Amino acid sequence: MTRRAFPSLLILLALCSPAVGIFGCGGSAGHEAITDLDAEPAAGDESFEDVSCPAPALCIAVGNEQQNGKGLAKEWSGEGWKSIGDADALLKAISCPTSTWCMAVGNNPSGAWSLERDGARGSSDWEIQPLSLPHAKSWSELLLNDVSCTGRTACTAAGNYSDGSYKNYAARWDGKSWKRERPPNPKDKDEIAAPTHGMLGVSCPSADFCVTVGAFKWLPLVEHWDGSEWKIVSAPHPEGSPSAYLESVFCTSPNACMAVGNVTVGKTTGPFAERWDGSRWSVVKTPHGDANGTGNLRSVFCSSQSSCIAVGGLSTTGQTGLSLAMTWSGSRWTRRPSPNPKPYTQLAGVSCPSRGLCMAVGQAGADWGTGTLLAAELTKPWTPPPPAP
């Protein structure tokens, strides 16, 4: 899928639902209110791809400046956003296991960047250090799509590379260097159909278990790592669907994962989700919103196996480029109101550092040349669903 870049959007979602463990509750429910927390001019070609919040008053968002091919990183400390540096490549994802250390990945042979600050001395300045990943000189591309860290000495990055055809790529960070792993490719000429397929998302709930999700020939691709090797795991899709792929995954334990993306059934493309229960993956029904529109979930965050939020984008009849947010209660997905401050608002990443607080990032803007970098608070968004049985 080709993604159009729009000016950056940063949204603080203060979500109310006592039945969903991520979210707190206060005031009356059922109404949407948006309060700007911060705003500044943004270049029309900026976009934000991911966010990680290691503490309630600390989030790091990463993204891109498309025109100059640079990556950017910004910090939210509870009082607004500020730039903390850039990278010499497009940044795709970030994982912050502590409030003083993060790992970011992107599209470059360097591939990864550590972000660190001296918390013991109370420093607020971040140092961004490029880290080289194992790769062959014959490769024309190395595209890292996601990273998951359980600590500063244990991260897994996933994506794909091209040596004439696209293949799966994974590497493991041990605190000193990256070491390449060998995830299998589907046995069909060992190649991925496009750079937007292959391994798209990764989640590691423990030091010896990881899951990657993506697509192969337009159908779901899932692989598990058991601490020593990667294996392809069967992932279902709706019968008769010509296209279904998973873009993001979050595991709260080796026995509980949620993955999201999109699926085409008939002439309609909509949000798609699958759930891992420790023994098998199964399709989970998601609301579409408009039979004549399209929808896609790009990021998911879970605080438990019965509490998740997913964000993405939606186009409906007469409206294009709307943000999309859904919550999982343990038994069903429910669409929630989400802000659309500008035309073509899309959400790309979400992180929830505490009960009652989620940060979502993405893109917003009417065209390539205008836009505003925003942070907004969304309160009182819905009537809480009943607790899961």
Q: What is the pLDDT of residues 61-89, one digit of tens each?
A: 998 877 777 888 999 887 777 889 888 88
| CA-derived radius of gyration, the chain | 19
* Cα–Cα distance, 35 to 189 (Å, whole number): 52
Instruction: Provide the domain limits for residue 263.
Output: 8-379
261, 270 Cβ separation under 8 angstroms: no
Distant-in-sequence, close-in-space partners of 88: CB < 8 Å, separation ≥ 6 = 69, 70, 71, 108, 110, 130
pLDDT on residue 122 = 53
Q: Tell me, what's the pLDDT at 291?
A: 59
2 part of a folded domain: no
pLDDT, position 81: 78
Instruction: Specify if 386 maps to a domain.
Output: no
Output the CA angle 246-251-256, nearest 5 degrees: 100
Identify whether 28 is part of a domain: yes
| Average pLDDT of every residue of the chain | 79
pLDDT of amino acid 234 = 95
Measured distance CA(11)–CA(1) in Å, rounded: 24
What's the total number of domains in the chain?
Answer: 1
* Residue 389 belongs to some domain of the structure: no
Residue 109 inside a domain? The answer is yes
Q: What CATH number corresponds to the domain at position 106? A: 2.130.10.10
Residue 1 lies in a domain: no
* 49 domain residue, yes or no: yes
Q: Has residue 121 got a pLDDT over 70? A: no
Q: Is residue 385 part of a domain?
A: no
- Say yes or no to pLDDT of 24 above 70: no
Distance CA 66, CA 5 (A): 8
Is the pLDDT confidence value at 104 over 90? yes
d(CA 209, CA 226): 5
pLDDT of 25: 29
